[in-house]
Chains A and B, each alone.
Chain A
């Protein structure tokens, strides 16, 4: 039985209206990155990550993938089919214990094997904090280079998802940015997720990839099917502009890209949008070049205001680019509260708050 177009759109409108108010629509519009040349396949972010891990397990016979519920495919489907393909000795469930996952992963890496360890939600990474900060990050330094855990990568779903509340929405990158010895990266979509993950797996330092969970399904791109890596420690300028520099990472990049469009349409303000990509070590050169060019910088992140990573960037910019600044560096962030449930639309640094910040900084 065919349903007419009109009837279908009527049904959809009804469906949206009937949605309970606590489950909000996405606060962002996704902006895909264009693929380069070569074979590519349409993939969402969890498929791209799955593809990355498939390639990693294939070309590195020591590689192991483990974490809670990783065996059956993972709660976000990032590891589907991998256990069937590589066996339960290489793709396996760990007991429910993040400190154990982290410690075990370090040991795997000590023995020279490649460890891909999943922490199911960034909100639950804190039991691992001691192992990551006191052990993984310091292994090479404290042993005079005799031992290390360079072949270790953590994959950690993070960020707002519409209804996650306190314990399924956090962005804890700032805690880890404060730890010398770690790499911390945040992909903005499938192409980046695959490239960064493969780069981290090969990188001889312990790495954490914070994967914005709301992008697992929502972000779809033409992803190159072959093995490739993205540059670590390098920010991406996604949109060139001369008036205001907008800096973000993960999901927030897409909010900022929309803000840049609105700023141009409504106020004829020309924004440069930068995806930081790497939180630690971070690309001070790209950021400062842009800051010196525009003289006005707005940084946006979901994590709370105080001591968020925006404060590090702001402090650095005012130190190195002071004389080029036309206005103080502005941060638009989550409020200094735990991440709330029903109040999420008020909590997030949405496009309107960011747009207002852009207008204000231009009029400073």
Chain B
């Protein structure tokens, strides 16, 4: 053994510390009998090793390469669970984790592997390492070993900035780790421990480009059946979203509590900094969800499977006494007060996802915008699918979705919740209406708007085709669209440069209103709804007229493309203008007749009802403007998102090594 250097610190140093020193500093370890055997059963001091490694700068590391290779090789040799004790496995894994963490931290570029193992026996090294890890996944019943293994795998995957350069990932492609992952996902106690990590891996790994696409084992996700595994994945995602949402909502409720009348005054007077709301962003989960949806044929099933207590061993929700109301149209969402929030609602991944999205959509920082884009991309994929769209419109599947409403001039931040469970399409529409009204800003996120409108269009299209009458308070959407039109018209000057195809976008907005005007007989669920629609348009007649003049103005402009698209916009506007032109004089005449300057809503509705017959509407083709909207930038976006996710994983892995402690407890005992 190395001589104890007491003089240095004056305190007794543990044996393991000496061994760490020897490990890196001394060339000849053979003179210590059983050095390695001892090293891996001693209680590790990750902190010391990490700081020790930190003292070595990159240049010196090159000299130490042999020593590192030796440690890594010995550690890998001890990963075999059959011949080694769980403790030894854990310690060697931890050693490897620390080495890799240190190497990843350094800006070594692409030759990171070179430092970890000898490039001459790279094949054998990778094979041994991954095979052992697979064995652990399959057979190990120790929770701390399992957790560390998954963290280590994550670190391996995130070791490089770009996944395609990662040698470890290419190694993972060949082993049947996928099956091992699935086994873990199917087993609730183990899923509880490492489910999140596995789902993250499943989100990342399919993106590795292989020479032959079929050889990527993670593409098996695409044919995954609606089974325990898939429900397990859904469960993990749902729980992650739920925890983020719940955490955030608690903050909101805390803010709400503060927002009493008096506190508001004191706050405005004293100008105390606003409490900021933080949400734990679930990058990896969103990526996994999107990946799953994009490649998985049956992945949509994950959405529709409600969280069952049998699988997600949660506490049973407490029964609540609900006042019965017989309104056939869903009422406006009500604000959730702190008291109500305690009630556990039944939910599924879809609900959790929507709630999470409602938060992400309202956050304005750059990272959240990325998130919002991802969420809307997912929402778009969902609405594209017939099965999920049908699921959203199922009368028997009702949920009460809570969603977040950011503070605005008119109201503080709120959590809104419908008064009774309603089909999920209602929640989606609520979410989008809220987004439309809340994001009219000069830095116009037109891309997000495009996606939102597409989602609405698809829902409408489904309802139109199947003659499904969603009991939704459409007025929310109509007024949101009309005010969006107003915003567009008012800020045309700056927006026309921002938005690639300004008039196409305007046309889309108008066309959604057109769907109601022309096809309302197949969509609306209430007798008076059509009157409401006309009322809403007549009420905003100035918006309609101004928008029309804007279109006229651009139709004579030089640029041919703008000219053409603005003409299309004018065609789309025909019906709105017809409604205004038809009813506005009648309403005026009515007010003249009765000598009233301001008319009641009911009176105007009566006028509208009387004069339908002479109003003629034009059939407009709406598919065109939405089909052209295909977005080719998804791919770029996905890969940049992936890079971000890898970065996230990397940072989350750093400095966690000290948190790993060996616990000899078996998983089966944990669950019981």
Asked if A and B are interacting partners, one says no
A residues sitting closer than 8 Å to B (CB atoms) are none
